[in-house]
Amino acid sequence: MINQKAILIKELKNEKEWKEAYPVMKQLRTHLDEDQFLQLIQEAAQKEDYKMAALYENEKMVAVTGFMPMITLYNGRFIWVCDLVTDSNNRSKGYGEALLNYVHNWSKENGYDIVSLSSGLQRIDAHRFYENKMEYDKVSYVFLKRL
C-alpha cells in the first residue's frame, strides 16, 4: 500500500511549516482562514503543548495530524488527537493509519498509554476506520454548547 521509501513523517515546529500544512488542514477545519489557523496553533503549541505532524510522500505533504498531552480524572495522562486529515486526492492509501501509528509511538515513547479522539457524528467512514482498522473503542459521546 505505502511505499515506505517515499514516506516521511515529521513534526512541524514553526510557522513556516504550519503554513505549509494549512491547505491540507483546511479540508478538515473549513471554518478557519489561514491567519486564524496560525494564531490558534501558535497559542495551542505555547499553552497546551499542541504538536503537529505531517506525512510526506515524495516530499509532498499529503496528511496532517495535531495532538496534545492532557490530564483528566477520566483518562489520567493521555494524548488527545485534535486533528487528523488526509488530502482528499490521497485518501485510502494508509496515510491516516501511518499518522495515527506515529501518534501512538510518540505517546508510548513519552509515557502515555492512552490515545483518545472525537469524530463528528456524520463521519461514518472515519468511525469505521477508527473502530475496525485502528481498534479504537467507542466509549462516549462528546457534547458541545456554544455560549
> What is the residue extent of each domain of the chain?
4-133
Backbone angles phi, psi at 124, to 5 degrees: -60, -45
Q: What is the DSSP letter of 21?
A: H
CATH T-level assignment (fold) for domain 4-133 = Aminopeptidase (3.40.630)
Check residue 69 and give its pLDDT. 98
pTM for the whole thing?
A: 0.92
For 29, what's the count of Cα atoms within 13 Å in the CB-facing half-sphere?
Answer: 20
Cell numbers linked to 49: 503543548
Check residue 78 and give its pLDDT. 98
Contacts of 21 (CB under 8 A, 6+ apart): 12, 52, 54, 61, 64
Check residue 2 and give its pLDDT. 62
- Mind listing the pLDDT tens digit of every residue in the chain (147 residues)? 566 678 999 999 999 999 999 999 999 999 999 999 999 999 999 999 999 999 999 999 999 999 999 999 999 999 999 999 999 999 889 999 999 999 999 999 999 999 999 998 888 889 999 999 999 999 998 898 999
